[in-house]
Amino acid sequence: IDYQIIDDVILITKENLINDELFKNGLIVAQDASSIKVGLVLNPNINTSILDMCSAPGSKAMHLAAILNNTGKIIACDIYEHKVKLIEENAQKLGVTNVVAKLLDGKNSSFEKPFDYILMDVPCSGLGVLNHKPDIKYQMTIEKINGIKKDQEQIVENGLKYLKKGGIVLYSTCTINKDENELFIEKLLRKHPNFKILEELKYLPTSTNDGFYICKLKETTNEEWYL
């Protein structure tokens, strides 16, 4: 099989591997090249805690589990029971033991302890994935996007309550709409000036990857601002 490897983790082939033993045995996972960047940018330290607020089907959570080398703990949430089962099935298939799937709504869920990292891969208009979901352009409207933006804000505001002091947040979408991306983050920083951007990536859709937005933020302490 002809293949190409990017960033030591992204495997690109011209042949479909869904029926290959590599996929069946959980040695590789189907995931878009832009989506894989989420785990690479978050890059959590070993033995840390992560909250994945909108996880299903769990590809990003599984990648983070690999980066953590199955240490620490990842709470992977979704609002639909059948999608939570997908996360559990993926974890079992891949031999992941540090992911706990929970049936929770990111807009109002609560947690007993704060997390070192929070991944907010929020619901979005999906305008970056039209290559393989062309029906979106016939269904998406300004009214729907406005409703989605409200959901995004609720999820982010709720998630920030459970971030450890000095913790890291990664906000991501599979859209190229600035209202859900750059402008959303600008508004967030005006409301929460104690956060700063560590890394911001934007991908336009191509023949090999989806359109995607990734923004890594850190809560700064008074000492860090002083320095």
Catalytic positions: 174
| Distance in angstroms (rounded) separating the CA atoms of residues 116 and 34 | 24
- What phi and psi, each to the nearest 5 degrees, are found at residue 122? -75, 155
Side chain identity at residue 31, one-letter code: Q
DSSP the chain: --EEEETTTEEEESS--TTSHHHHTTSS----HHHHHHHHHH-PPTT-EEEETT-TT-HHHHHHHHHTTT-SEEEEEES-HHHHHHHHHHHHHHT--SEEEEE--TTT---SS-EEEEEEE-----TT-TTT-TTHHHH--HHHHHHHHHHHHHHHHHHHTTEEEEEEEEEEES---GGGTHHHHHHHHHH-TTEEEEEEEEE---SSS--EEEEEEEEPPHHHHH-
Query: Looking at the chain, how many residues does it have?
Result: 227
